[in-house]
C-alpha cells in the first residue's frame, strides 16, 4: 500500500482533523471486514494492511480487539440507523412504499458487492458463542432499534389505510428482521439476490399489500 511506504517512524505531522483520519480508516475497514467475514475470522493484521497502518498504531487507538469490535458494532449501528431513518421515515412516500424501497436499496447494495458483504449484526449474532459476552446485549439492542423504526412505519401504514387495522405492528416488525437476517445470510451463501426477493415478496404478502409490482405469493394471475 502506498500510504504505508510513505509512513515514517515517530510522531507524524499534525493533521487538521486531529489524527482522526487513521482511526476512522481503521473503523471503516473493520466494518467492511466484519460484514464480509465476521469477527473471529477478521485478523487485526487484515484491517491494518488494508489501511496501511502498522500494528503499533492500532493499539494506540484501541485497547483491544474486543474494544475495536464494540466500536465497529456502534459504527455500523449508527450508519444503519441513519439509513433506516432516511428510507422508512421518508414522508414523501406512502409507508409501505418506503419499506419496499428500503429492501430494493439493500438488494442493490448486496449486488454491488457481489453478495460478499452481509449484515454485520447478523454475522456477529451467529458468532456469539465464540465472542465476548458483552457484544450480545448490544446486538440485541441494535436489532430492537431497527424493529422499532419499522413498527412506526407500519403504524403509519395502518393510519394511511395501507395495512389492515387488525395487524399487530410490533409483531410484524419483529418478524421482518428475523426473516430479513435470514434472507441476507442466504443471499450471501448463494451469491444471488433470489433469497432477498423471495423474502420481500413473502413479507409484503403477509402484510396483505396489494402487489404493486407482481408481488404477492400466489401463482401468477
Residue 148 to residues 81, 153, 169, 178, Cα–Cα distance (Å): 11, 9, 10, 13
Q: Does 22 bind DNA (CB under 7 A)?
A: yes
Question: Which one of residues 32, 34, 53, 204 is an interface residue with DNA (CB under 7 A)?
Answer: 53
Grid coordinates given for 142:
441494535
Q: Which stretch binds DNA (CB under 7 A): 13-21, 76-84, 98-106, 144-152?
A: 13-21
Q: Does 18 bind DNA (CB under 7 A)?
A: yes
Nearer to its own copies (CB atom), residue 23 or residue 196:
196
**Per-residue mark of binding to its own copies, 120-159 (x: CB under 8 A):** --xx-xxxxxx-----x--xx--x----------------
- The whole-angstrom separation of Cα 108 and Cα 186 is 15
161 binds, among its own copies, DNA, none (CB under 5 to 8 A by kind): none
Residue 39 to residues 28, 158, 186, 188, Cα–Cα distance (Å): 14, 39, 19, 16
- The whole-angstrom separation of Cα 124 and Cα 130 is 10
Q: Does 168 bind its own copies (CB under 8 A)?
A: yes
- The whole-angstrom separation of Cα 76 and Cα 118 is 12
Size of the chain, expressed as the number of residues it contains: 221
Question: Which one of residues 1, 64, 79, 148 is an interface residue with DNA (CB under 7 A)?
Answer: 64
Question: Which one of residues 30, 31, 42, 149 is an interface residue with DNA (CB under 7 A)?
Answer: 42
**Dihedral class, residue 123 (left if φ above 0, else alpha if ψ from -120 to 50, else beta):** alpha
Question: Which one of residues 189, 210, 211, 212 is an interface residue with its own copies (CB under 8 A)?
Answer: 189
What residues make contact with DNA under the rule CB under 7 A? 4, 7-15, 18-19, 22, 42-46, 53-61, 64-66
Amino acid at each position: 500500500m502506498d500510504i504505508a511506504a510513505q509512513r515514517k517512524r515517530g510522531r507524524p505531522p499534525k493533521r487538521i482533523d486531529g489524527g482522526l483520519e487513521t482511526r476512522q480508516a481503521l473503523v471503516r475497514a473493520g466494518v467492511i471486514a466484519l460484514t464480509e467475514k465476521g469477527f473471529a475470522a477478521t485478523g487485526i493484521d487484515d484491517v491494518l494492511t488494508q489501511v496501511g497502518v502498522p500494528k503499533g498504531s492500532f493499539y494506540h487507538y484501541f485497547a483491544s480487539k474486543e474494544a475495536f469490535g464494540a466500536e465497529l458494532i456502534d459504527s455500523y449501528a449508527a450508519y444503519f440507523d441513519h439509513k433506516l431513518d432516511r428510507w422508512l421515515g421518508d414522508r414523501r412516500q406512502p409507508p409501505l412504499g418506503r419499506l419496499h424501497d428500503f429492501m430494493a436499496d439493500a438488494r442493490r447494495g448486496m449486488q454491488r458487492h457481489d453478495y460478499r458483504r452481509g449484515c454485520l449484526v447478523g454475522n456477529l449474532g451467529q458468532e456469539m458463542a465464540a465472542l465476548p459476552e458483552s457484544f450480545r446485549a448490544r446486538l440485541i439492542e441494535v436489532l430492537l432499534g431497527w424493529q422499532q423504526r419499522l413498527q412506526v412505519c407500519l403504524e403509519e401504514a395502518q393510519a394511511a389505510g395501507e395495512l389492515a387495522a387488525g395487524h399487530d405492528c410490533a409483531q410484524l416488525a419483529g418478524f421482518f428482521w428475523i426473516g430479513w437476517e435470514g434472507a441476507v445470510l442466504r443471499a450471501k451463501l448463494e451469491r444471488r439476490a433470489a433469497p432477498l426477493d423471495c423474502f420481500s415478496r413473502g413479507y409484503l404478502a403477509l402484510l396483505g399489500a396489494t402487489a404493486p409490482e407482481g408481488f404477492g405469493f400466489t401463482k401468477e394471475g
